[in-house]
């Protein structure tokens, strides 16, 4: 259990709550005067804000509530203004903007600055825009979470959802829904929503038809007449479900043809049993 210098840090992450925190915090300041954790921006500093929800990491629908920072390059440097600072009181993590949650703990090199209670933390190597920085502190690291987006949040969301190599369209569509809850007026996100909603429907169409395909495969592979009847009957059930959910689906024509085939073959096999 960490016992050193906890209360000042909890205060700096919890006492600054304000309705417009994200908007004001995103504006760089020229001089650091209040305790806190700051990211060095292209001009000045942006303070890491407390995340006000009981989550292990930032939910996309709350992205508008955390600040964002534009840096001069992809280097990541922090200024911590905290009495009796000890790096062991902090946990830092990076999480890229993507549907697959991939969180990486990182360690910074630390050096004290000339100003009292100020420390400079530098991370070796580049960190691209579109990455969230998590800052944990307290007796138990996960009690208090601060967060900030590297790069303009809306720009990074648009950049990510514009990618054509994203997998699992259903998940992409769900995350895009949450992004729009954060930024409902973003026209580019709205256009991308229409695109990914269509992709998600196509994906569901093919996934649902996969159950039909599986019964068709089982039917073709068996030589036993009783099993042929069973698989064709099961396939009919899957076809009915598919056509109910996808009456104009990509496989609707084939589904109807296989249904007609099954209706013809089942009585033929039953006569031979």
pLDDT in tens, 98-140: 999 999 999 899 999 999 999 999 998 899 999 999 998 864 4
CA distance 122 to 191: 38
134, 97 in Cβ contact below 8 A? no
42-64 pLDDT, tens digit per residue, is: 999 999 999 988 888 899 999 99
Q: What is the pLDDT of residue 79?
A: 95
Mean pLDDT of 15-35: 63
Q: How many CB atoms lie within 10 A of CB 247?
A: 8
pTM: 0.80
CA distance 121 to 141: 19
Which segment of 3-12, 80-89, 177-186, 199-208 scores lowest on mean pLDDT? Answer: 3-12
Task: Give how far Cα 240 sits from Cα of 163, 183, 259, Å.
Answer: 35, 40, 9
Residue 147 has pLDDT above 90, yes or no: yes
Half-sphere exposure of 120 (CA within 13 A, CB side): 11
Task: Give how far Cα 266 sits from Cα of 119, 231, 258, Å.
Answer: 78, 10, 12
Q: Which of 180, 178, 146, 109 is nearest to 25 (CA)?
A: 146
230 Cβ neighbours under 8 A, 6+ residues apart: none
CA distance 95 to 92: 10
SS3 248: coil
Q: What is the pLDDT of residue 26?
A: 75
201-223 pLDDT, tens digit per residue, is: 999 999 999 999 999 999 999 99
Residue 36 has pLDDT above 50, yes or no: yes
Residue 157 has pLDDT above 90, yes or no: yes
SS3 2: coil
In DSSP terms, 224 is beta-bridged to none
Which segment of 13-27, 30-44, 94-108 scores lowest on mean pLDDT? Answer: 13-27
């Amino acid at each position: 259990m960490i016992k050193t210098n906890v209360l000042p840090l909890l205060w700096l992450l919890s006492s600054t709550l304000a309705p417009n925190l994200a908007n004001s915090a995103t504006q760089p300041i020229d001089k650091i005067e209040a305790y806190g954790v700051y990211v060095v921006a292209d001009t000045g500093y942006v303070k890491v804000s407390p995340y006000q929800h009981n989550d292990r990491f930032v939910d996309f629908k709350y992205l508008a509530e955390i600040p964002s920072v534009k840096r001069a390059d992809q280097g990541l440097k922090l200024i911590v203004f905290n009495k009796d600072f000890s790096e062991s009181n902090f946990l830092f993590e990076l999480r890229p903007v993507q549907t697959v949650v991939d969180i990486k703990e990182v360690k910074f090199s630390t050096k004290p600055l000339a100003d009292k209670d100020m420390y400079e933390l530098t991370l070796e190597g580049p960190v691209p825009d579109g990455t969230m920085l998590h800052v944990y502190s307290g007796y138990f690291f996960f009690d208090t979470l601060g967060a900030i987006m590297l790069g303009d949040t809306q720009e990074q969301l648009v950049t990510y959802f514009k990618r054509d190599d994203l997998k699992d369209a259903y998940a992409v569509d769900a995350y895009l829904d949450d992004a729009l809850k954060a930024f409902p007026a973003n026209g580019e996100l709205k256009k991308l929503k229409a695109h990914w909603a269509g992709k998600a429907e196509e994906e569901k169409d093919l996934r649902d038809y996969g159950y039909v395909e599986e019964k068709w495969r089982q039917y073709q592979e068996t030589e036993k007449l009783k099993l042929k009847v069973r698989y064709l009957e099961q396939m009919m059930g899957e076809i009915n479900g598919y056509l109910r959910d996808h009456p104009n689906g990509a496989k609707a024509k084939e589904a109807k043809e296989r249904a007609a085939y099954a209706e013809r073959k089942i009585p033929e096999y039953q006569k031979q049993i």
